[in-house]
Amino acid sequence: MGKSIKGTTKTKRGRPPTTGRGTQIGMRWQDGQLSAIDAWRGRHDVATRPEAIRRLVELGLKFKKEAKPASQPGRGLRARELAAKAIDGIIDQATPPEERAQRRRRLTKGPTEFREDRVDLPKAKK
């Protein structure tokens, strides 16, 4: 009788292994999005569309966007200057200078509801 062949592995029958038990999410994708995912798959040698989507989500979650500073010094002043210049061009030049200044101040400061010294909000901690 002949010797059996050693070192070969039998292929398992049935369904291939999955990514594990998890929550299944059904989504609808538009053609443009699917073609972009497929193009990404081709560039990164990913076998299946679901695996590509999983990898893209992981990449998106790892990416941290650097926060810009809330305001750059001098930017608010520059904005006020530009607004005052634009308002001066709109205001009727026949009005007295005091009236023009009052209108400009009212427009650049805004209504009292939008000002920083609101009483209905708690004060900022310093």
Q: Any idea which residue has 């000002």 for tokens?
A: 115
Six token digits for residue 75: 């930017």
Q: What is the pLDDT of residues 76-91, one digit of tens each?
A: 788 888 888 888 888 8
3-state secondary structure of 104: helix
Distance CA 65, CA 63 (A): 6
Identify the residue with better confidence: 102 or 38: 38
Task: Give the up-direction half-sphere exposure of residue 120: CA atoms within 13 A in the CB hemisphere.
Answer: 4
pLDDT tens-digit series, residues 86-111:
888 888 888 888 888 888 888 777 77
87 and 108 Cβ atoms separated by less than 8 Å:
yes
Is pTM beyond 0.75? Reply is no
pLDDT exceeds cutoff 80 at 19 = no
